[in-house]
Amino acid sequence: MGLFDRIKAGLQKTRQAVADGLGDVFIGEGDIDEDFYERLEETLIRSDMGAEASERIIDKLRDQVPENHLRRRKDAKKFLIKDITGEMQNAPDAFDFEKERSVVFVTGVNGVGKTTFCGKLAYKLTREGKKVILAAADTYRAGAAEQLSLWAERAGCDLVQGNPGADPSSVIYDAANAAMSRNADILICDTAGRLENRRNLMEELKKMDRVIDKVMPGVRRENLLVLDAVTGQNAVSQAKGFAGVTDLTGIVLTKLDGTPKGGIAVAIESELKVPVKYIGTGEQKEDLERFDAETFVKAMFADDTSEEVSEDDW
Amino acid sequence: MAFESLSDKLQQTFKTLRGKGRLTEEDVRLAMKDVRMALLEADVNYSVVKDFTSRIREQAVGSDVMNGLNPAQSVIKLVKDELVELLGGEQAELVFQPGKSLTVIMMCGLQGSGKTTTAVKIAGKLREKGKKSLLAAGDVYRPAAIDQLKINAEKLGVDVFSMGTEVSPVDIAEKAVEEAKKGEYNVLIIDTAGRLQIDDRMMEELQEIKKRIVVHQTLLAIDAMTGQEAVNVASEFDKRIGVDALVITKLDSDTRGGAVLSVRAVTGKPVVYAGTGEKLDAIELFYPDRMADRILGMGDVLSLIEKAERNIDIDEDTGRSMVSRMKKGRLNYNDYLLSMQQMKGMGGLKSILGLMPGLGTKQLTEAADQVDDRELARTEAIILSMTEAERDNPKLMNPSRKRRIAAGAGLDIAEVNRFIKKFEQGQKFMKQMPGMLRGHGNNPFGF
């Protein structure tokens, strides 16, 4: 099943529970009128895009409608998809770190799926022939290192871990040295979940960040923030908080099989300019995909009834 | 997030209207726009917001709210009262079986919503009430979930029933009930794996558990940071397996927590607990009125006052003699220690500041962060390493004593010096400025 189908499958499953989905606002041959704008706003807000970002997007559409002589709702849809896709597009070199020697530093609040993401990424890269080392720097949560070691087994890669309660920076230090001496391609560092309003814990992250730079100076860094796709506006606060500690290069949106929405990604992109790089779409080890803006935005605005919602059609 | 509190926003809106004899419907409409925006930014569900604002508008226009001296205040009060109502009005608690008979509780929720941690926290909380709990490890899917439950339960001394990961959760639940009855436990809490509300197979598993054994209370854990989807999650869980009560988790984040309002409003189920931190005792009863304040960005003053009342019990004499010593600039280390312990009893400075109104703003959070709770612990160690005589009479201090104190506290002598210097400076400062001490009540050190 392709990425589009998977997201769309999630969408359809959810649709059974939701009265009206995101794409429904575009159904029908109706004109672009006030009623349409109102329903569009509702649609965007329901996708967790936030009241502010939604307003901005709609204002832009209002300007564009007369300029581009848009009349039909489905024209507006095409326009919106193009607009948002443009904003969410990854740079051409976004995934170059997968090809070079690099350190992937994974952060996020509690329960978003950091450990699972690290495991899936290790599995994916190992299968692509890379030598991967996983660092279990979550020495706080009970069972976190065990969870990651099971993933290391599945992926068939090395794991570096410390004792429960150990300074996570010491685990990072050991792992970075192991990566150097074993000549690994990619070091993936899992960290403990922490709320971005905890200063001490954020300082701890900074320290880990420094240790990586110290042991592996000049190595390519990929600093990923993991976000749960059902998170609301607090995700923006999370992104800001973590961006203040480590130079974020990307967002991982997890649990997208539960919600077709994930509009929060749009809000973050527009406020912080940090792109989404991966999405998690299930619990299996293969359920990790590179983010593709076009597919994602189309799936967001897909509706069940409209014929045009097939991948080829777009 | 740079939220302005709703009350600030409303004040602003109404400021421009001051001077008008009374407010018109149009004015109310404008105010409701602010209310709407505030609620949406707090992640309250769109439909819930829509119903809510139209209800408020009706009430506001129909009543004489708009004729009052301070319409902004009246509208805020109206909004808050309605929110409290939506959040369930009264504070609710878990319902137990009569007497000593076994109450079976089942936890459920999405992945990462905090079920396992909450299960352990509840067991700990119930022990305070004299109830003996058994935790059943029913999450056989997430790697190491059972370890997490066991390790945390052990920290609190709560028993765990586990059959490993090869047995179906339904069988585990059944065996756990037998075990709980045999062991004369009062409460059995079954932890289950996180699952999506749209995952048919996984939802059937929970239905199967409820068919096979009698579950008295099904608790749904909801992450306070959840967005618009919270409503679908909750109503689907309720529809498929039947939810009796809600637990809101991660309320210590800086989220407004509008999800809890939506879920409460849509399902009508009471919220029985709120998780407020990673520590295993960080769970509290849920107070609708305080949550309403939080959603509106008005701070949780009541919780703060209650915390203070619960934890500060300096008798009046001690307080008065402390103030008198303070005025003369003759405070001793015992006074310092006492003040510090009061604060620690209230959960540390951060926890206190977190409850203050308007603390969404960055500067205040940063200020709070600068006072490190760990530093307080170090200071306490220093004072506790002093002899009684030294504590009573700060003038006794000399290098040899300082060295001994440093060794006793397990700290570097520089740190002891720094603290003593800070203390002495404080003394001088107080002597010079007796005026500014007024209003600090029992706490001369001002924290």
Domain of residue A200, residue span: 96-291
Per-residue pLDDT tens digits for B175-225: 999 999 999 999 999 999 999 888 899 999 999 999 999 999 999 999 999
* A39 and A140 fall within a common domain: no
Whether residue A300 lies inside any domain: the answer is no
Say which CATH topology domain B307-437 has.
434 Repressor (Amino-terminal Domain) (1.10.260)
Which residue in B114, B232, B254 is closest to A18 by CB distance?
A: B232
Flag whether pLDDT at B2 surpasses 70: no
* A79 and A127 fall within a common domain: no
* A83 and A64 fall within a common domain: yes
Superfamily of domain B6-86: SRP54, nucleotide-binding domain (1.20.120.140)
Could A48 and B227 be called an inter-chain contact, meaning their C-beta atoms sit closer than 8 Å?
yes
* A205 and A163 fall within a common domain: yes
Segments of chain A scoring below 70 in pLDDT: 1-29, 258-261, 303-314
Whether residue A298 lies inside any domain: the answer is no
ipTM above 0.85, yes or no: no
Predicted local distance difference test score (pLDDT) of residue A108: 96
Least confident segment among B19-23, B115-119, B198-202:
B19-23
What are the chain B neighbours of A259 within 8 Å (beta carbons)? Answer: 229
Give, in order, the Cα–Cα distances in Å from B360 to each of B5, B37, B338, B399.
8, 16, 30, 45
* A240 and A115 fall within a common domain: yes
* A130 and A62 fall within a common domain: no
Whether residue A282 lies inside any domain: the answer is yes
Distance between CA atoms of residues B6 and B2, nearest Å: 12
Residue B77 three-state SS: helix
Could A230 and B227 be called an inter-chain contact, meaning their C-beta atoms sit closer than 8 Å?
yes
Per-residue pLDDT tens digits for B137-178: 999 998 889 999 999 999 999 999 999 999 999 999 999 999
Listed residue (B437, B277, B138) closest to A109, CA to CA: B277
A residues 208..237 contacting B (CB < 8 A): 228, 230-237
Flag whether pLDDT at B360 surpasses 60: no
Domain boundary among A39, A65, A90: A90
Predicted local distance difference test score (pLDDT) of residue B57: 85
Q: Which residue has the tokens 């109404």?
A: B14
The reported pTM is 0.75
* % pLDDT > 70, chain B: 74
Could A51 and B235 be called an inter-chain contact, meaning their C-beta atoms sit closer than 8 Å?
no
CATH architecture of B103-297: 3-Layer(aba) Sandwich (3.40)
Higher pLDDT, B14 or B232: B232
Residue A164 three-state SS: coil
Per-residue pLDDT tens digits for A95-147: 999 999 999 999 999 999 999 999 999 999 999 999 999 999 999 988 899 99
Alpha helices in B157-219 (DSSP H): 169-182, 200-212
Which residue in A50, A261, A283 is closest to B41 by CB distance?
A: A50
Domain boundary among A90, A107, A135: A90
Whether residue A302 lies inside any domain: the answer is no
Which residue in B114, B252, B258 is closest to A195 by CB distance?
A: B252
* A266 and A167 fall within a common domain: yes
* A148 and A211 fall within a common domain: yes
Predicted local distance difference test score (pLDDT) of residue A11: 47
* A139 and A193 fall within a common domain: yes
Domain boundary among A90, A125, A143: A90
Nearest-5° Cα angle at A26, A25 to A28:
110
Query: How many domains, chain A?
Result: 2
Task: Looking at the complex, report in whole angstroms how far the Cα of residue A42 sits from the nearest Cα belonging to chain B.
Answer: 7
Each domain of chain B, given as residue ranges in start order, spans 6-86, 103-297, 307-437
* A111 and A233 fall within a common domain: yes
Whether residue A150 lies inside any domain: the answer is yes
Listed residue (A108, A120, A135) closest to A225, CA to CA: A108
Whether residue A254 lies inside any domain: the answer is yes
* A21 and A36 fall within a common domain: yes
Task: Identify the helix (H) or strand (E) that includes residue A277.
Answer: strand A276-280
Task: Looking at the complex, report in whole angstroms how far the Cα of residue A5 sits from the nearest Cα belonging to chain B.
Answer: 16
Task: Looking at the complex, report in whole angstroms how far the Cα of residue B16 sits from the nearest Cα belonging to chain A.
Answer: 23
* A57 and A142 fall within a common domain: no
Could A228 and B223 be called an inter-chain contact, meaning their C-beta atoms sit closer than 8 Å?
yes
Could B43 and A234 be called an inter-chain contact, meaning their C-beta atoms sit closer than 8 Å?
yes
* % pLDDT > 90, chain B: 42
